[in-house]
A and B are shown apart, each in its own frame.
Chain A
Amino acid sequence: MNDTLDAAGAGADPAPAIHLRGIDKRFGAIVACDKVELRLQRGRIHGILGENGAGKSTLMKIVIGLVTPDGGEVHIDGARQFIRDPLDAARHGIGMVHQHFSLVEALTVWENVILGEGGSLDRKAARQRVMDISEHYGLGVDPDARVADLPAGVRQRVEIIKCLRRDPDIIIFDEPTSVLTPAESEQLFAVLRTAVRDENKAVALISHKLDEVLHSTDEITIMRAGSVVAHLETSEATAAGLARAMVGREVSLRSEAAALGLVEEIEALAEHHTDESSDAVPALSMADVVVRGSDGSMALDGLTLEVPAGTIVGVAGVEGNGQAALTEVLSSLRPIAEGTIEVAGKPVVTGRAGAMARAGVAVIPADRHDSGCVLDMTVAENLFLIDIERVANMGFYEQAGINRKAQELIDEFEIQTSGPGAPFFTLSGGNQQRVVLARELSADPHVLLADQPTHGLDVGAIEYISDRLRKVADDGVGVLLISSELEELLHLADNIVVLYRGRIVGQMARDEVDLERLGMLMGGATEVGAR
């Protein structure tokens, strides 16, 4: 149908679709982009790799007009352009698929796709357009489906259709696979390939996963701390080399490999270290737990789960399948409607302030700002939020006293701060997470629930947190690790359970993990089977 691939590929390098020259951008004291050079060529997928905070998202926001650069030039097809806003970018043929969904759940697919367009509403034409795009790229999206009923993978495809409806020449994908099952992300990249090959589009793929970039791109640019540190053809790249360039030093530790998404290497490294005694009382046991959402939907639907002391149980699953409810229940933020929860053999009342913490359930919440800390209080105060009584005397405490005791934890957990009296919000994300970890672990828990404990942290912090989790389990604590990153689970967990629509649909020991089966379970195995 199309021979443009050869034409484009063989032709002498024409002006790149986008050429960024010497882009600078600062946010206060933080340098997000420092003299960045980048070329997006037509007919190629260009991976932009970097740790969280390396500046890759900022760079793409500059291209799309969401951020104005402090210096440098943007050239489109050889001509210098000033992109004022996303509409302006759209006029230049640039479209972006954002990391976070911007869909209205109550509306149907076609309604979401045309949302934001001016003029009169032409239902028939809009539906047709969705169907055309869907068919053309093999996306398989029903224009009349309500977004609320769609799984994350399909929603991602709706976002892509939203982007493609303007027929952009240049498409930017910002971490598109963070909410997808492995099978779904594979499918997504197949679609991307088609678009690039058949229509000579330029695609930028932002990611922090080595695996993904290695498998789906033509060339790779690596950013670190706001600068481009390497640019190479994907065919010449190796995982180890990319990791080294991304982190700035040799990567050897398993936890780092996990952070960077090197599944194969983890599997090779996987080893046994479980010596559980099966007849002991489990640290945490949840039986037939039901939690209803405020709208009557089932957030947890008969969840049964056991975490033996001294092991890490990983909860795999696509976001939005009950992880939030599970964390809220174990944080005493939500009562359960049915079922029982026992910690170290003793039943615990749910929904009562502090009951779970008192029973010995430590929690690292997915969003620590939501229920894991108080931003306006000091570092020391945050270290004693759940057990201030420990450092008090007859109901009285002294600031100096808790600062002194906090200093011990600050040293032990290597928290970088100007002092125990510093406001918590002045800490970096990684150090905030260490404060949460230090507080929760110093309370001598039976159970540690870690919900996405490494999300958004840099590699150093990820490594630290992972090692701590392992150590905690070795000390006899039952660890429940919720993660949407399979690599993290494969690396840390002794046992993996799959959470789908509020219940556990499958379970496997780490050494018998079958990635394909895991992926199918995450996507709702029955659905996959029917397809």
Chain B
Amino acid sequence: MASEESEAEMTASSTPAGGRAVMYSKAREAGVVAGLYIGSVALALIMSAALVAVTGGSWREVFSALLDGSLRAPGRWGDTLGVAVPLIFVGVGTVIGGRAGLINIGQEGQLTFGAAVAMYAGLNLFGPGPFALVAMLLIGLAAGAFWAGIAGVLLYWRRVPEVLTTLLLVTVAAQVVGFGLQRPWILLAPIEGRSSRNIVSEQLDPSRRIGRIELFGNEFPISVFFALAFVIVVAVVLGRTVWGFKLRMLGRSARTAQRAGVSEWRYGMAGLLLSGGFAGLAGSVMVAGGDFGNFRLVPGFAVNIGFDGLLVALVARQRPLLVVPLALVFAGLRTGSGFLAATGVEREITQIVQSLLVLALLVPPAILFIRERRRALAAMTART
């Protein structure tokens, strides 16, 4: 009894000091991160402004147009929210794969395939609207998972690097979906519903579309809330469950994980399937959501949302909760660009401006990553 108390005292007295030190170093770390981002974005803005000014445009107008297009003009922030939804799904899925140490860069393909299969299901399923909608979203998720699963089987069965297979499967997905879109018995709409040269699918029945809400003159799909809920669930699963712990162990040291009972096949495969599944789900909500196209599938439907979602995850550095604000930023860049044409600044220039802003977000994570590696390496070599 007495010894227990004294032990409790010892731990109690030792933790606050340690806790304070940890808190202090965390605060400093956060300051460094914030400083890096502010500096990097500021640099990108200055370079962009200079570029626009040198080529004869008005940089004020350019930035103002970006803000108008993404937030300020009537109805625009609703559009930004709608674009952010698939970015969130792709981003959060990529974070899961990343935790398992996998480099899935084929979200664009998983999204394309998921969208196409979801569309096929949405056009052909029987049953009342809401059930068919849920079913088609789940089928789209499964299709995305299947597409990533091909890379997973190749990886764990034959050690083919997933970086290569996932990326190459993007092209294959585009071809497969293109094939389906040209066959009337698969996805191609009957000739009455389209001009003869158009390759499009039929339109999704209104009863099977994702509902939309209007708020302060802005309209957005209710999938926004689901996306947020998913992010929270993923954050909890990754950070608080035994499964998330094991996934992280596998990602950081595959051999230690194998020894400790984390099978690469089971956990790595699950990570890859989930990351592909979320990309497939992103494609499905794009099809059924109405923010991308007119509820029809067309070639090139994915419009780089898969790649943008990958960037979101890269910047979020495996932290699921960060995916949300970053998806909003990337969505804002997308919707904002719609207003750039009106500024009269040449399209090439505005595209460079956008790219600079994206780069500004990507550079700090890269620097932080290198810094972490160096620190860990230095700690290791200094100790041995």
A residues within 8 Å of B by Cβ?
Answer: 27-28, 30, 331-333, 352-358, 363, 369-377, 381, 385-386, 388-389, 392, 395-398, 404, 407, 411, 418-419, 421-423, 425-429, 432, 456
Q: In residues 33-61 of chain B, which contact A (Cβ within 8 Å)?
A: none
Excluding A331-B259, A353-B262, A395-B243, 7 further A-B contacts by CB distance (< 8 Å) are A333-B258, A333-B259, A363-B259, A375-B253, A388-B242, A411-B11, A419-B15
**B248-A377 in contact (CB<8A):** yes
The 8 A CB mask of B223-265 against A (1 = contact, 0 = none) is 0000000000000000011110110110011011111111110
Note all chain B residues with C-beta closer than 8 A to A428: 383
Complex A-B, nearest 3 residue pairs according to Cβ-Cβ distance, in ascending order: A354-B261, A419-B18, A353-B263
Complex Cα distance, B267 from A388, in Å, reads: 16
Complex Cα distance, B12 from A407, in Å, reads: 10
Chain B proximity of A130: nearest CB distance (Å) = 34
Complex Cα distance, B19 from A425, in Å, reads: 18
**B255-A375 in contact (CB<8A):** no
Note all chain A residues with C-beta closer than 8 A to B380: 369, 375, 425
**B19-A419 in contact (CB<8A):** yes
Given contacts A375-B253, A396-B240, A397-B240, contact A357 B21 (CB under 8 A): no
Given contacts A375-B252, A425-B379, A429-B384, contact A358 B240 (CB under 8 A): no
**A376-B252 in contact (CB<8A):** yes
Note all chain A residues with C-beta closer than 8 A to B214: none
Which of A386, A407, A423, A426 is B260 in contact with, Cβ under 8 Å?
Answer: A386
Residue B376 is within 8 A (CB to CB) of chain A in the complex: yes
Chain B proximity of A57: nearest CB distance (Å) = 11
Note all chain A residues with C-beta closer than 8 A to B241: 392, 395-397
**A385-B242 in contact (CB<8A):** no
Closest to B375 in A: A425
Majority DSSP secondary structure for residues of B touching A: helix
Given contacts A373-B253, A374-B249, A397-B241, contact A418 B21 (CB under 8 A): yes
**A398-B260 in contact (CB<8A):** no
B residues within 8 Å of A by Cβ?
Answer: 7, 10-11, 14-15, 18-19, 21-22, 240-243, 245-246, 248-249, 252-253, 255-264, 266, 376, 378-380, 382-384
Note all chain B residues with C-beta closer than 8 A to A352: 263
Complex Cα distance, B241 from A392, in Å, reads: 8
Given contacts A376-B376, A386-B260, A395-B241, contact A407 B253 (CB under 8 A): no
Chain B proximity of A320: nearest CB distance (Å) = 20
Which of A357, A395, A419 is B259 in contact with, Cβ under 8 Å?
Answer: A357
Note all chain A residues with C-beta closer than 8 A to B19: 419
Q: Which of B7, B255, B262, B264: most chain A CB closer than 10 A?
A: B255
Complex Cα distance, B296 from A526, in Å, reads: 79
Given contacts A357-B261, A377-B249, A388-B245, contact A371 B240 (CB under 8 A): no
Note all chain A residues with C-beta closer than 8 A to B260: 353-354, 357, 385-386
Note all chain A residues with C-beta closer than 8 A to B252: 374-377
**B248-A354 in contact (CB<8A):** no
Note all chain B residues with C-beta closer than 8 A to A426: 379
**B242-A389 in contact (CB<8A):** yes
Complex Cα distance, B260 from A372, in Å, reads: 9
Chain A proximity of B39: nearest CB distance (Å) = 26
Note all chain B residues with C-beta closer than 8 A to A30: 382
Q: List 12 A-B contacts (CB under 8 A).
A: A28-B378, A353-B262, A371-B255, A372-B259, A374-B249, A377-B249, A381-B245, A385-B249, A388-B246, A397-B242, A407-B15, A418-B21
Which of B14, B242, B383, B384 is A392 in contact with, Cβ under 8 Å?
Answer: B242
**A353-B249 in contact (CB<8A):** no
Note all chain A residues with C-beta closer than 8 A to B15: 407, 419
Complex Cα distance, B300 from A368, in Å, reads: 49
Which of A375, A381, A386, A429 is B261 in contact with, Cβ under 8 Å?
Answer: A386
Q: Which of B243, B245, B246, B257: most chain A CB closer than 10 A?
A: B245
Note all chain B residues with C-beta closer than 8 A to A407: 11, 15
Q: Which of B259, B260, B264: most chain A CB closer than 10 A?
A: B259
Note all chain B residues with C-beta closer than 8 A to A353: 257-264, 266
Which of B22, B249, B256 is A372 in contact with, Cβ under 8 Å?
Answer: B256
Complex Cα distance, B252 from A422, in Å, reads: 16
Closest to B240 in A: A396
Chain A proximity of B238: nearest CB distance (Å) = 12
Chain A proximity of B324: nearest CB distance (Å) = 22
Note all chain B residues with C-beta closer than 8 A to A423: 376
Closest to A352 in B: B263
Note all chain A residues with C-beta closer than 8 A to B245: 381, 388, 397
Complex Cα distance, B256 from A371, in Å, reads: 4
**A371-B258 in contact (CB<8A):** yes
Complex Cα distance, B241 from A396, in Å, reads: 4
**A373-B262 in contact (CB<8A):** no
Complex Cα distance, B258 from A363, in Å, reads: 13
Chain A proximity of B7: nearest CB distance (Å) = 7
**A371-B383 in contact (CB<8A):** no
Which of B255, B261, B379 is A370 in contact with, Cβ under 8 Å?
Answer: B255
Note all chain B residues with C-beta closer than 8 A to A354: 258-263
Complex Cα distance, B261 from A389, in Å, reads: 12
Closest to A372 in B: B256
**A27-B382 in contact (CB<8A):** yes
Chain B proximity of A66: nearest CB distance (Å) = 14
Q: Which of B19, B21, B253, B380: most chain A CB closer than 10 A?
A: B253
Note all chain B residues with C-beta closer than 8 A to A456: 384
**A418-B246 in contact (CB<8A):** no
Chain A proximity of B143: nearest CB distance (Å) = 28
Closest to B18 in A: A419
Note all chain A residues with C-beta closer than 8 A to B10: 411
Closest to A402 in B: B245
Q: Which of B21, B266, B384: most chain A CB closer than 10 A?
A: B384
Note all chain B residues with C-beta closer than 8 A to A28: 378, 382
Note all chain B residues with C-beta closer than 8 A to A333: 255, 258-259
Note all chain B residues with C-beta closer than 8 A to A381: 245
**A411-B259 in contact (CB<8A):** no
Chain B proximity of A53: nearest CB distance (Å) = 8
Closest to A426 in B: B379
Note all chain A residues with C-beta closer than 8 A to B376: 375-376, 423, 425
Chain A proximity of B254: nearest CB distance (Å) = 9
Q: Which of A30, A370, A371, A432: most chain B CB closer than 10 A?
A: A371
Note all chain B residues with C-beta closer than 8 A to A358: 261
**A418-B242 in contact (CB<8A):** no
Complex Cα distance, B260 from A355, in Å, reads: 8
Complex Cα distance, B266 from A423, in Å, reads: 27
Note all chain A residues with C-beta closer than 8 A to B256: 370-374, 385
Chain B proximity of A324: nearest CB distance (Å) = 12
Note all chain A residues with C-beta closer than 8 A to B384: 429, 456
**B249-A332 in contact (CB<8A):** no
Note all chain A residues with C-beta closer than 8 A to B263: 352-354
Chain A proximity of B284: nearest CB distance (Å) = 28
Chain B proximity of A406: nearest CB distance (Å) = 11
Which of B22, B255, B258, B378 is A418 in contact with, Cβ under 8 Å?
Answer: B22
Closest to A369 in B: B380
Complex Cα distance, B264 from A331, in Å, reads: 15
Chain B proximity of A243: nearest CB distance (Å) = 23
**B22-A421 in contact (CB<8A):** yes
Closest to B263 in A: A353
Complex Cα distance, B377 from A27, in Å, reads: 13
Closest to B249 in A: A374
Given contacts A377-B252, A388-B245, contact A371 B21 (CB under 8 A): no
Chain A proximity of B374: nearest CB distance (Å) = 12
Complex Cα distance, B253 from A260, in Å, reads: 34
Note all chain A residues with C-beta closer than 8 A to B7: 411
Chain A proximity of B199: nearest CB distance (Å) = 47
